[in-house]
Structure 1
Amino acid sequence: MRKSLTTGGNMIILGIILLIIGLIAHIGILTTLGIIILIIGAVLAILGAMGREIGGRRHFY
């Protein structure tokens, strides 16, 4: 597996964890951060899978 997919995957997992904790504990900021990190992780994973440069780098580590 490419590192760009792994890093994006890690961000997606972190976003899901924060989203679940925020929903269970009724903490709005965690829910919001979870959604934001989930979206950013998905975008990075998709761009990395397409082989696009992210932030001036060919690979996102």
Structure 2
Amino acid sequence: MLYWALVCLIVAIIAGVLGFGGIAGTAAGFAKILFFIFLVLLVISLVANAMRGKGPKV
């Protein structure tokens, strides 16, 4: 999912440089949403892992 957020961000940057404001704004908004979903899933995963009593592998 983080991969798709980065792809959308790159599309937004390229569209912004080329002057496609609407497309750039949409792609940037989509990338932002995907990034925050990724962060929420990361936090849920970390909390679930901590609840099971397993620490990170070192």
The TM-score by the shorter chain falls in which range?
0.5 to 0.7
- Higher RCO (C-alpha under 8 Å, 6+ residues apart): 1
Q: Which residue of 2 aligns with 1:25?
A: 18
CA distance in structure 2 between the partners assigned to 1:11 and 1:33 by the alignment: 14
Identity of aligned residues (%): 11
Q: How many aligned positions are there?
A: 45
Larger C-alpha radius of gyration, 1 or 2?
Answer: 2
**TM-score of the pair, normalised by structure 2:** 0.61
Provide TM-score, normalisation by structure 1: 0.59
Report 1:1-61 matches (<5 A).
Answer: 7=1, 9-51=2-44
Q: Please identify runs of 4+ aligned residues in structure 1 that moved more than 3 A.
A: none
Pairwise CA distance, 1:30: 1.7
Structure 1 vs Structure 2 CA RMSD: 1.6
Structure 1: segments with no counterpart, 5+ residues = 1-6, 53-61
Q: Which runs of 5+ in 2 are unaligned?
A: 46-58
1 or 2, which has the higher helix percentage?
2
CA distance in 1, matches of 2:30, 2:7: 7
